[in-house]
Structure 1
């Protein structure tokens, strides 16, 4: 159902140039329903490349009112005008006059409030300049536009990339819309609602109401509307000069951390304070103040930092605490700072002891080395020179050369690469402390252009710089572009290109603006005149459309969901000239191993990928850095000695675009929903199953699998063990059956019950051996957890829905298939608790082991007996330990899939002893990681 067009616009007589895709038609129908119900505001969420522009224009055409489009930059402005011109037959005119004289007017947001829509991020990472303005503070041109909108009466206002309004113009937009009661307002964005901050989500709901949600990016790939893609990373240490400077900066903080471990450093030693405050958590009267789960909930950063201190051997494990993936690495500067802040505010600043005063001053002097300062209110963060060195490291520009050279070798003339930076050139003076460490232009698009033009391997790509202010290239490329542009647009007046330039590159100047030169440079790029564009996020990172882009290198510091989706969206469009296109997006990360602040760039990398879905080498679509490589953790970078190896893996993967394309399974069915998975990595020699275990399928004995980065290759379990275990289980099972049938009763009587005892032990051994020999413990425990959750009515499917598969590193990937996201999350959490180190559960379940590397010939009973030490205890997951009924359901499932077992109540004297012996121990000697996957 669509709204009839209003006479006078001429919209009713024109139609889109192409048939609308299903998701576009569905979005338009949803808008029609919303407007028919009386709403006048709505917003549409579609991934980049899925036709937001055409969807917006068609929504406006159906409304039939005068239409005004506002977009973030001149490149996007030009795209709207071009898209409207493709309507057939000849559409009503579209213009850029603020007087709104045409039926369709396309403007930038700058027409309303002054800021530079094409500006790059400033050199301190502060984002686009500008801020919230109010209507009464607008400049005359802005007030004139508001008056024209008000006078237009019924008008459709299209707000492209409306997320910009959330960050800088929320209050202004709210005021504007109150001035336009007759306007229909449609926001368009690629940022999904679940990626918005709470403040942004509240503002969107106030301004637009519920979203019209399109498909996810993976769903669009499956349907063939976006190109298959892979997220890759190049991890590099700083250069030698940068490393030397970083080492000197780290020395002050290292001295402080060493001093903090000295009991005489302060009247109340640092570790003693942490022990009382966090481990013991005692009140002034000596009584325990809070159980761990409450303390961790109320002080999450402090609790996490303390657990990393424990992992590093500096604190005991607090009772009730459990180490998770994020805790299994040495404490970082942020952890020290968090705990120092607590110690200083709660202890040292309240003391009159001279030792405490000296300790405060020592902390104050060391904190700037890690980007913090001590104030009267506590420790406060600031931008550290260390952050600048890592973000702008010369090693990152070198990495760009290596990446493009490798991609060029693989793709040849097909390569269409884009390098996106934060800023075109440096304008601020470097801090004196960085003189001689970083180049003045470090991190700039100009420096990237100069280095690409100077390297013979990448100079052949004809790199071209395109920003909101400048077009530049090496002289030969500049001459070719000059000639090409003059032929493509005869009315263009360009200055003759210089034969030589500063640093080997020259600027291309003339009487043109960014709207014209971006369009021309894009066409030149897609025709192969240049195979590498270098630009800024403000111009090429959002809204810019070039279908040929197949390689994108992200050098920006932006970590917001909007910036990530927009930047990566540049490479995802379908290329009509290459239907088999597969896109690569490279992140370049600089890590200073050993420096307390050396993971700052890694943390940015993690934030960029958080919530963003990509495909692994094993073909699983997952969220976060795990889709770059399954062994990567969001909580700590890999060790420096693995950088080269990991980069080699990335280069090998980059050569295999067809493999990536096949892994996406374009055209196959999908649910378009998220599921929670658990990655379980076992020590070498105890690897997972060799192939996926589909729900309900038996798990085969393990074979050798590829080792994780930094881990020795796995050694398969000897087949003889499986055979011997199975044979022994069979013999014992036969004996148990005979005993149960009474066949051996006379023998039992004749031997005074000794045979019966022996055979009962054999039967018990048979049950244990069946569990030990039938299936490796990881999938067995997973099935037990799922079965118990299902029996308790907590999830809709049980053991038959458990999926177990190896990832590309050889670790297990475990999930509950075919259930809602909430059920998969519940299963993942419970399974993680069941196989992780024991914390403080209410119940434990034993798992009996077959000791040795096989069963030797000899007495059957001896083979059936289990030594007293051949048992490990697993925590009963919290959700299954809430009451005895659930515990019994879990124990029944455990006996079926894992091992003969009787639950152990840890609050009893016997259970407390078992818990004390098991607390902190890993029942599988495994590391686990919770992940989110798409299906």
Structure 2
């Protein structure tokens, strides 16, 4: 009864609120930054569909932009934030930048049960309200907020959304005539495809992306550089990894000669009854391919008809070799997915399963031959990363001396190691965490006149977490003068000079503030903390060195943690920040292993300046110029430290890179996956196929042929001694024969791919004009430029400029759908070009999803394709014949030597 009485009161307030105009009441007190002004100038265009999705890094003023958008929408608004701290920041920024607190007459609320003209709340509160008061009923929730007059929803830090929060938020999207504004620093690109899809369904496509270069250019972020310190597993880890690899190799070799398993595979319906289960094969083409790949590796004769189904019609394309990933596809299918279908073979399958479990390659219904969870965890938590942190802090302390303000962030505290540990016992620590890092740094920062010139760096070390604070005894007086006695307790940490400060509940936030102030002033120079406390929301702009010892964090958390260090510090306008990342190399695999791959993937979340060579700003790991194979830990670390010494050069590189561009552009990067090793370097470059390469080899061969003919004439005319002429002829013929395979291979690759840059430009033209005809791009055509560039003879990139961010992203994503390996498109394009047909190289391209919903759209796209690319045909893959073509197309890409690898990137141009 009280609830509905309250609702009536708020309905009366709504009528009062309808007279309020934020456009008149709100007035921004300061000058807009250039990138903010540029965004606001296009606000009306972006907001046509009542959706606005803004991506901007920490420090860009997202909250202020959100308030300005609220002012321009000028409707009753509710703002959702992930934490109470961030919720409160909205109100603080509003009073700081728009309206005086004393004179503000705008009805405000922090309680969604009593919404005002502006309501600040949290996602947790919405979920609780939906679950309890609304009884989990979406229609009730919509009815409540509709009666409350909510016409605008703001989702702050939208990347934080958890599974249980989706339902009420999607329900709110049904509010009539309601607009939605989503603000985030990092879309959750490393989540599952399902989660990413839900995120973009809720927030809409990205309308505006504010890039780090713009913030550095404006002076809102400081110049900064990312570095990586590599380590290798310790002896115990190496023994475990090598033992695991040997067991897996032995298992694979045994499976290849296991007559029972061979017989089982030959009886598999996909092989034995292919024609009758074609529809199922088309749904699981990878399993069918894996069967043939296994049988081929097991030296079993495969019937020609089985291979023909995959589209292998010439001798040029062969069945690829058996790899762990292919064997995983086969075994995952028979051991887990379709196991019930093979009940009569249960004894054999159970035996294989037991073997896999014993070697640690099968757990929780998941097969992992490349490496199990324990192996990956052993790398991410490698104790040798503690030595990496020790080396980094020692290096930075020597460089910055008393200007050092370093923060080390870890995922866990590890209180089990809290007791005092002698330096000689440090190797017994086998886990990464706050306390282990503290002990390692305490030992390396101990008084040492030779290293620290009589200064005791150990005194400047501290720990700050939500439940554990450690400070040096020297800070006892500072603590006592700043924090009330009943807020904490102090106790000595063993026989060290450090104290354990235990905060009481009421003193937690105050203690964080005091420790942060001591760090800012330099009483503390090295602060170790947890990502949960210091990773987001914590503000200490004095940081100039950050070590990320976190391995749990996602793209989102990585970006937030990094954002702590790259903020400007007004008291030191010349601040330059170093951000150190850690990776443990698995020396048993060529690409460095899972920890290296995970770190490389993290770099997709943010932009930075190139480490060496030409200065440019780009996201991803390419800007580091690191090897793809053949990691040499010592050489890599020496190079990193050598570059990091030149701290002042970081600002120079940023200035050079920023001067070379004006805007952050989304582009598609395309290269070949065939690599060649250059002389005198461990760097592997991607081999590009140019027409001039073919011409070069042909010219060499023709010259050699002419020389051979001339030498043969000389041999017959007796101008030179017969033995000498014969020797020269043999040498010339040998060189001719030696160059012939290179010419043949280059010719085949050229015929297969054509001139990549020119072909990519034509594809881009076809896509761009098709998007214009379908009105997916509405920016005037005269303002949009299509560009294809070659980069350092290693890559080709394609992008459009002059369009909106939403249009540029849609173009790049659609272009990637076209040129990447065939997965499961609704429509495909099949084309032949000249001699490619003669050599049996059909080209398959996926029709992008924006043209795949209806045949008329796919036909529209084909028309533009034929206009710019040449003769082609459209294939519908949802029919029986289409599925067959799709299977051939997918296997065609599996067999493509030097095939395309694609990647979308953000680069300052």
Give yes or no for TM over 0.5: yes
Aligned CA RMSD, in angstroms, stands at 6.4
Structure 2 equivalent of residue 646 of structure 1: 636
Distance 1:919 1:88 in 2: 58
For the residue of structure 2 that corresponds to 1:552, the secondary structure is: strand
- Specify whether residues 80 and 495 from structure 1 end up closer, same or farther in structure 2 by C-alpha distance, changes over 3 A only: same
- Displacement after TM superposition at 1:661 (Å): 3.8
Distance 1:246 1:71 in 2: 43
Structure 2 equivalent of residue 362 of structure 1: 352
Distance 1:235 1:926 in 2: 30
User: Is structure 2 residue 505 aligned with structure 1 residue 508?
Assistant: no
Q: 1:47 aligns with which of 57, 79, 97?
A: 57
Deviations 1:820-851 (CA, angstroms, capped at 9, x unpaired): 67777898899999xxxxxx99757789xxxx
Structure 2 equivalent of residue 239 of structure 1: 234
- Contact 2:626–2:683, Cα closer than 8 Å, also in 1: no
- Contact 2:382–2:432, Cα closer than 8 Å, also in 1: yes
Structure 2 equivalent of residue 263 of structure 1: 258
Structure 1 equivalent of residue 795 of structure 2: 813
- Show the 5 A alignment for 1:170-189: 170-172=166-168, 187-189=182-184
TM-score relative to the length of structure 2: 0.63
Q: 2:160 aligns with which of 140, 145, 164?
A: 164
- Contact 2:685–2:794, Cα closer than 8 Å, also in 1: no
- Contact 2:294–2:322, Cα closer than 8 Å, also in 1: yes
Structure 1 equivalent of residue 461 of structure 2: 463
- Displacement after TM superposition at 1:451 (Å): 2.0
- Displacement after TM superposition at 1:241 (Å): 1.9
Deviations 1:484-530 (CA, angstroms, capped at 9, x unpaired): 4555x476765575454477753224555333233333333233332
- Contact 1:224–1:667, Cα closer than 8 Å, also in 2: no
- Specify whether residues 54 and 413 from structure 1 end up closer, same or farther in structure 2 by C-alpha distance, changes over 3 A only: farther
For the residue of structure 2 that corresponds to 1:644, the secondary structure is: helix
Which runs of 5 or more residues in structure 1 are unaligned? 114-130, 140-145, 429-435, 633-637, 688-703, 713-720, 733-768, 834-839, 848-871, 893-917
Q: 2:627 aligns with which of 628, 631, 639?
A: 631
For the residue of structure 2 that corresponds to 1:594, the secondary structure is: coil
- Specify whether residues 33 and 369 from structure 1 end up closer, same or farther in structure 2 by C-alpha distance, changes over 3 A only: same
- Specify whether residues 358 and 181 from structure 1 end up closer, same or farther in structure 2 by C-alpha distance, changes over 3 A only: closer
- Specify whether residues 543 and 341 from structure 1 end up closer, same or farther in structure 2 by C-alpha distance, changes over 3 A only: same
- Displacement after TM superposition at 1:360 (Å): 2.6
Structure 1 equivalent of residue 724 of structure 2: none
Structure 1 equivalent of residue 333 of structure 2: 342
- Contact 2:53–2:204, Cα closer than 8 Å, also in 1: yes
- Specify whether residues 162 and 289 from structure 1 end up closer, same or farther in structure 2 by C-alpha distance, changes over 3 A only: closer
Distance 1:919 1:175 in 2: 43
Distance 1:102 1:805 in 2: 55
- Specify whether residues 9 and 530 from structure 1 end up closer, same or farther in structure 2 by C-alpha distance, changes over 3 A only: farther
- Contact 1:815–1:824, Cα closer than 8 Å, also in 2: no
Deviations 1:586-615 (CA, angstroms, capped at 9, x unpaired): 332234333899934344334423454444
Distance 1:314 1:484 in 2: 76
- Show the 5 A alignment for 1:237-636: 237-250=232-245, 252-264=247-259, 266=261, 268=263, 282=271, 284=273, 298-299=283-284, 320=311, 331-332=323-324, 335-344=326-335, 350=341, 357-367=347-357, 369-370=359-360, 372-373=362-363, 384-425=373-414, 442-456=431-445, 460=457, 462-473=460-471, 475-476=472-473, 479-480=474-475, 482-484=476-478, 489=482, 495=488, 497-501=490-494, 505-510=498-503, 512-558=506-552, 560-594=554-588, 599-610=593-604, 612-617=606-611, 618-632=614-628
- Contact 1:72–1:109, Cα closer than 8 Å, also in 2: yes
- Contact 2:248–2:369, Cα closer than 8 Å, also in 1: no
Structure 1 equivalent of residue 691 of structure 2: none
- Displacement after TM superposition at 1:422 (Å): 1.9
Deviations 1:774-797 (CA, angstroms, capped at 9, x unpaired): xx9999934553576589898899
- Show the 5 A alignment for 1:912-923: none
- Displacement after TM superposition at 1:52 (Å): 2.1
Deviations 1:317-369 (CA, angstroms, capped at 9, x unpaired): 995589xxxx999944x554332122446898655777x62453232342364
Structure 1 equivalent of residue 755 of structure 2: 781
Which has the larger share of helix? Answer: 2
For the residue of structure 1 that corresponds to 2:347, the secondary structure is: helix
- Specify whether residues 30 and 13 from structure 1 end up closer, same or farther in structure 2 by C-alpha distance, changes over 3 A only: same
For the residue of structure 2 that corresponds to 1:48, the secondary structure is: coil
Distance 2:675 2:275 in 1: 42
TM-score relative to the length of structure 1: 0.62
Deviations 1:883-932 (CA, angstroms, capped at 9, x unpaired): 9999999899xxxxxxxxxxxxxxxxxxxxxxxxx99696xx89977563
- Show the 5 A alignment for 1:33-112: 44-57=54-67, 71-73=81-83, 76=86, 83=93, 86-87=96-97, 91-92=101-102, 109=122, 112=125
Structure 2 equivalent of residue 753 of structure 1: none
Task: Name the count of aligned residue pairs.
Answer: 746
- Displacement after TM superposition at 1:394 (Å): 0.9
- Contact 1:614–1:622, Cα closer than 8 Å, also in 2: yes
Structure 2 equivalent of residue 910 of structure 1: none
Distance 1:790 1:192 in 2: 26
Distance 2:842 2:817 in 1: 12
Distance 1:548 1:68 in 2: 34
For the residue of structure 2 that corresponds to 1:677, the secondary structure is: strand
- Contact 2:320–2:895, Cα closer than 8 Å, also in 1: no
Distance 1:169 1:251 in 2: 45
Deviations 1:32-59 (CA, angstroms, capped at 9, x unpaired): 8999x996x8665432110123334555
- Contact 1:559–1:607, Cα closer than 8 Å, also in 2: no
- Contact 1:803–1:814, Cα closer than 8 Å, also in 2: yes
Higher alpha-carbon deviation: 414-423 or 504-513? 504-513
Higher alpha-carbon deviation: 6-15 or 55-64? 6-15
- Contact 1:67–1:157, Cα closer than 8 Å, also in 2: yes
Which runs of 5 or more residues in structure 2 are unaligned? 1-15, 136-141, 418-424, 446-450, 687-694, 707-742, 770-780, 802-807, 822-828, 848-860, 872-892
- Specify whether residues 548 and 779 from structure 1 end up closer, same or farther in structure 2 by C-alpha distance, changes over 3 A only: farther
- Contact 1:678–1:828, Cα closer than 8 Å, also in 2: no
- Show the 5 A alignment for 1:212-223: 213-223=208-218
- Specify whether residues 454 and 152 from structure 1 end up closer, same or farther in structure 2 by C-alpha distance, changes over 3 A only: farther
User: Is structure 2 residue 790 aligned with structure 1 residue 804?
Assistant: yes
For the residue of structure 2 that corresponds to 1:592, the secondary structure is: coil
- Contact 1:238–1:590, Cα closer than 8 Å, also in 2: yes
- Specify whether residues 101 and 519 from structure 1 end up closer, same or farther in structure 2 by C-alpha distance, changes over 3 A only: farther
- Specify whether residues 248 and 220 from structure 1 end up closer, same or farther in structure 2 by C-alpha distance, changes over 3 A only: same
- Contact 1:5–1:12, Cα closer than 8 Å, also in 2: no
- Specify whether residues 93 and 387 from structure 1 end up closer, same or farther in structure 2 by C-alpha distance, changes over 3 A only: farther
- Contact 2:394–2:444, Cα closer than 8 Å, also in 1: no
Distance 2:516 2:358 in 1: 45
Deviations 1:173-196 (CA, angstroms, capped at 9, x unpaired): 567899x99999865422348777
Distance 2:491 2:811 in 1: 65
- Contact 1:5–1:11, Cα closer than 8 Å, also in 2: no
- Specify whether residues 212 and 668 from structure 1 end up closer, same or farther in structure 2 by C-alpha distance, changes over 3 A only: same
- Contact 2:830–2:844, Cα closer than 8 Å, also in 1: yes
Distance 1:345 1:888 in 2: 48
Distance 2:200 2:563 in 1: 25
